[in-house]
Structure 1
Amino acid sequence: MTGTPTVSPAPDKPWAADGQSAGDFSVKGPDGAFEPTNALQSGKVLTLEELIDIGQRNHPATRVAWQQARQAAEAVGMVEGTYLPIITANVIGGYQDLVTPVTGLNGDTDYIRTNSQGVVPNIALQWLLFDFGERQAWRDAAQRTAYAANVNFNGTHQALIYNISRSYFNYGAAQQDLAIARRALQNSLELQEAADGRYASGLGTTIETAQAKQLVAQSKFRLVAAEDGLSSAYQDLMGSIGVSPRSKLRIASSAGRRLPRARSLPTEKVIEQALARRPDVLASYAALQASEANVEAADAAFRPKVYLGAVAAANNGRIQTGTLPGADFQNTTSGVVVGMSIPIYDGRIRERRRNQAEAAKAAAAATHELTINTARSEIVVAANTLQSALSSYEAARELNIAADTTYEAAFEAFRNGLGTLTDVSTAKAGLLDSELAQVDAHAASLVAASTLAFALGNMTSRTAPAKATN
């Protein structure tokens, strides 16, 4: 026996197979190690890396997956225990009253009462010596299931890191949307002030002042919507971390995050390497192997079993017959037997159990194939999405530069009496749309980069997009 498979030492630590390295999920913030509870209460501005560390230590999903891995490891130990003998200590005590009719010489019937009582302590041994592969098959199935549970535990961490990253980038976009809405309101107020000034000097009209007030009202409406969007994004972030929705955390902005460079579509070699490390693919393959071992165990149930039995007992008692003096007795017994049992008929239970195992094997094979196909599709789609998001960001950035120039020129012309409020309003709407488009494209690119890393099986906190230095 090789021993019970190991599990991760803690819910926030990665699992690694014997002799292999699993890397490290935990990435600390710029201030080094910290306790999540202190970080939640300190009021400091938390980076993505620190949020991931908090999530890994607090989210119930990691503890659930860890406990499931421990259960699977204990199941292996239970199967391995069947290779060892079972020793039991037993104590049997009893009392017997026997009445025997006796016919006398004169034909009368008399009755003789015999009483006996005793205590028999014994030690018994049961040991299954050979079962022609049944226990080995159960053991292989349990080990594969334990491996799948450990891989799923690491996969849970990767999914947690991805969800936190996605929520963090979306929250960052909501922060920037709110900042844009506030700037838009300020610009609308400045435009209203200019319109009122033109009207007071006799250069403007009531239509212009009404349009300016309408722009202010629209900006206030967008501000309310942006505040609501930020609140929703914050709750989504708290949920992904696994902390109370009432928590008041200060979150660092993602506006300075550098975007990855555009890459070509993954080659077949890259996809194959990703499939070899994706937790869902590894777990589905382990489940297939476990189902194959279950079929072998079902086949072995049709074969004979050889067992060893032994017993050592002591008998202490007393017997009393009629009016004769009672007699105490004491003896010991020991014995060893070797036997073999051959199953002949059990109402087709073993046959149906084997059919059930075969069906489970076929389902596991189909699930593994489906998992591989889904993974391939996710990798290609994620790569395409990242390319599209990066192209959208570049287009939005160029659009924003042009829209900003247009708005500044239109506003300056209106202030000097050379333009109309309609021109300014149109330019302002174009600038607002371009700013929101650039923010959304930036966040979408970061999320797409995280999605591709997750699809490739590389989603650890250190693979998150780096922070820009500009």
Structure 2
Amino acid sequence: MTLAACTQPGGERIDEPYAAAPAGPAVYWSARQNKDEQQAPKAEPPPGDSLVDGKLVYDLPALVDLALHSHPDTRVSWQEAQTAAARLERNRSAWYPTLTAMAFGQNFKDSLMITSGAMIRNGYSSTSGLNLAWTLFDFGRREATIEQGAQRLTAANFSFNRKHQEIAYRVATGFFAYQAVLSRVTAAQQTLEAAVAGAASVQARFGKGLATRPELLLALQEQARAGYDLQDARGSVVQAQADLTASLGISPSHALQLLDLSKVPLPSRLAQSAEEIVDQALEQHPDLMARLAELRAREAEVKRAWAEFWPKLSMNGMLGNQYWGNVHVTPPSQNYTSSNLVYTAMLTVEWTLFDGFERSNALNEAKSRKEAAQAQLESLRLDIIRDIWKAYAETKTALQKRDFALALLKAAEESYAATSESYNHGLSTVIEMLTAQKDLARARYTEIDSRANLLRAAATLVYASGEQNRRAE
């Protein structure tokens, strides 16, 4: 029985309570990492605005790294994993005996009836000692509780990883949206410059009597419209910047230097089929792994509920000293003082035979919770498959739209150049020139949107598949 009490299930050492949890808020957790490399949690540098480097040109991996160190959500998720690790070690303590030091003193006076009357004692006494309590065998209660805690820690670790992926995805989409807005500002500026040049050309022709006043007014109208579109695009920059800095966990007042969107490499094709991505996701997706760990924790709850029907064997003992000082006894009238070593040792079998069906109902509750967890796991599995298929189709469509957007931009540029030259030679009308100018502006916006949508769709596919981005560590 002593050997059974001393043997605890496999797991982390009791003197390394955080070895199974992530090492830090910005460190991606892996179930296969070297346990010797794990360390106790260390204080992180001050997060937030102090981590921003005003001289650095941030690309997407650098932005993700900044967000992982500065965003409060990473620290919240990390602390939840640390809490689960501490709770697991707290559960492991049930395998060890409880040793309690105890001492008390008293001043007393009592009486005892004897044949000649009442014998009265008064004096003082003290007792001190050590109490030992040790559960030797409990039919699997402790194993089930520790298994439950271990699975909850695993779930917290996978949730921590998913939080990393979520923050990386928010940063990526915010970065693409912000850069797309900046590109739209550049495109609007180019459109305004073309509109100003076109209006000047019409004005010159109008001065020579080669253009009518309605044509001049149309050109000035397009110039005003291009100016309005430019200001509208500039106004959108503030909102996009606020969204990006919010995803980074820093203040919008920071003017970050960002890599231009045109320098971000675009995916040229889909390397895998949707079926292959789904198969990999079902093996590694953090949300799925966390839900599976929760199911196993619910199964451990059922085991614990079953174990409550059986007895529990415990050992209790006490070793101490009892002291009696200056005790006066009447009659006979005398004083005495004594000090004695006292001890007790016992084995206790505790078995609840009837409890008003509380254990039966607890078992039914645990079984229902396990079945609910199983259903939630299946539901999540279907959601993941659906999200991957949708993201895969969106990415495939974005790739095709990108090719057409490039072709459209090239054709619009050539058409506008030819129409402008033709107008300057009096071979085209101002309506044709302004139409070509509008088509070029739309083509520029379409090319920008296609680039941003492709990057966003690819990021969504990675996020939906639960793939770990090593560059974001």
Fold equivalence (TM over 0.5): yes
1:402 aligns with 2:411: yes
Q: CA 1:240–1:344 in structure 2 vs 1: closer, same or farther (change >3 Å)?
A: same
Matches within 5 A, 1:351-362: 351-362=360-371
Deviation (angstroms), 1:184: 0.8
The worse-fitting range, judged by mean Cα deviation, of 351-360 and 429-438 is 351-360
1:8 aligns with 2:22: yes
The worse-fitting range, judged by mean Cα deviation, of 42-51 and 276-285 is 42-51
From 287, 308, 317, the equivalent of 1:310 is 317
Give per-residue Cα distances to partners, 1:353-412, cap 9 Å, x unaligned.
222212221121111111111111111111111010011111111111111111112222
1:193 aligns with 2:200: yes
Contact 1:266 1:380 in 2 (8 A): no
Q: CA 1:136–1:222 in structure 2 vs 1: closer, same or farther (change >3 Å)?
A: same
1:383 aligns with 2:397: no
Contact 2:168 2:472 in 1 (8 A): no
From 442, 452, 472, the equivalent of 1:433 is 442
Deviation (angstroms), 1:296: 0.6
Q: How far apart are the structure 1 equivalents of 2:293 and 2:113?
A: 72
Contact 2:65 2:472 in 1 (8 A): no
**Secondary structure of the corresponding residue to residue 88 of structure 1:** strand
- What amino acid maps onto 2:471 in structure 1? R
Q: How far apart are the structure 1 equivalents of 2:470 and 2:23?
A: 19
From 376, 381, 385, the equivalent of 1:372 is 381
Q: How far apart are the structure 1 equivalents of 2:277 and 2:258?
A: 35
Contact 1:72 1:146 in 2 (8 A): yes
1:445 aligns with 2:454: yes
Contact 2:288 2:381 in 1 (8 A): yes
Q: CA 1:253–1:459 in structure 2 vs 1: closer, same or farther (change >3 Å)?
A: farther
From 447, 458, 464, the equivalent of 1:455 is 464
Give per-residue Cα distances to partners, 1:142-186, cap 9 Å, x unaligned.
111111111111111112112111111111111110100111111
Q: What's the C-alpha RMSD, in Å, of the aligned pairs?
A: 2.3
- TM norm structure 1: 0.89
1:42 aligns with 2:54: yes
Q: Which residue of 2 aligns with 1:24?
A: none
For this pair of structures, how many residues does the alignment match?
A: 446
Q: How far apart are the structure 2 equivalents of 1:259 and 1:19?
A: 32
Deviation (angstroms), 1:267: 5.0
Q: How far apart are the structure 2 equivalents of 1:48 and 1:332?
A: 73
Q: Which residue of 2 aligns with 1:183?
A: 190
Q: Which residue of 1 aligns with 2:71?
A: 59
Give per-residue Cα distances to partners, 1:312-350, cap 9 Å, x unaligned.
121112322348232212212112111111012233332
Q: How far apart are the structure 2 equivalents of 1:364 and 1:248?
A: 46
Q: Which residue of 2 aligns with 1:321?
A: 329
Q: How far apart are the structure 2 equivalents of 1:10 and 1:39?
A: 16
- TM norm structure 2: 0.89
Deviation (angstroms), 1:16: 1.9
Contact 1:59 1:243 in 2 (8 A): yes
Q: How far apart are the structure 2 equivalents of 1:391 and 1:459?
A: 26
Q: How far apart are the structure 2 equivalents of 1:130 and 1:181?
A: 77
Q: CA 1:47–1:124 in structure 2 vs 1: closer, same or farther (change >3 Å)?
A: same
Q: Which residue of 2 aligns with 1:283?
A: 290
Q: Which residue of 2 aligns with 1:210?
A: 217
Q: Which residue of 2 aligns with 1:245?
A: 252
Q: CA 1:177–1:417 in structure 2 vs 1: closer, same or farther (change >3 Å)?
A: same
Deviation (angstroms), 1:461: 5.2
Deviation (angstroms), 1:54: 0.8
1:120 aligns with 2:123: no
The worse-fitting range, judged by mean Cα deviation, of 12-21 and 159-168 is 12-21
Q: CA 1:119–1:171 in structure 2 vs 1: closer, same or farther (change >3 Å)?
A: same
Q: Which runs of 5+ in 1 are unaligned?
A: 22-34, 105-109, 465-470
Contact 2:274 2:388 in 1 (8 A): no
From 337, 346, 349, the equivalent of 2:346 is 337
Q: Which runs of 5+ in 2 are unaligned?
A: 1-7, 36-46
Deviation (angstroms), 1:98: 2.5
Give per-residue Cα distances to partners, 1:91-126, cap 9 Å, x unaligned.
12223222568998xxxxx87653142111110000
Deviation (angstroms), 1:38: 7.3
**Secondary structure of the corresponding residue to residue 223 of structure 2:** helix
Contact 1:295 1:357 in 2 (8 A): yes
Q: How far apart are the structure 1 equivalents of 2:472 and 2:328?
A: 87
Q: CA 1:422–1:18 in structure 2 vs 1: closer, same or farther (change >3 Å)?
A: closer
Q: How far apart are the structure 2 equivalents of 1:99 and 1:8?
A: 65
1:161 aligns with 2:168: yes
Contact 1:396 1:438 in 2 (8 A): yes
Percent of aligned positions with the same letter in both sequences?
27
- What amino acid maps onto 2:145 in structure 1? W
Structure 1 segments of 4 or more deviating over 6 A?
Answer: 35-39, 100-104
Contact 2:51 2:70 in 1 (8 A): no
- What amino acid maps onto 1:163 in structure 2? R
Q: How far apart are the structure 2 equivalents of 1:376 and 1:243?
A: 34
Q: How far apart are the structure 1 equivalents of 2:123 and 2:360?
A: 49
From 418, 424, 428, the equivalent of 2:433 is 424
**Secondary structure of the corresponding residue to residue 336 of structure 1:** strand
**Secondary structure of the corresponding residue to residue 262 of structure 2:** coil
The worse-fitting range, judged by mean Cα deviation, of 305-314 and 95-104 is 95-104
- What amino acid maps onto 1:152 in structure 2? S
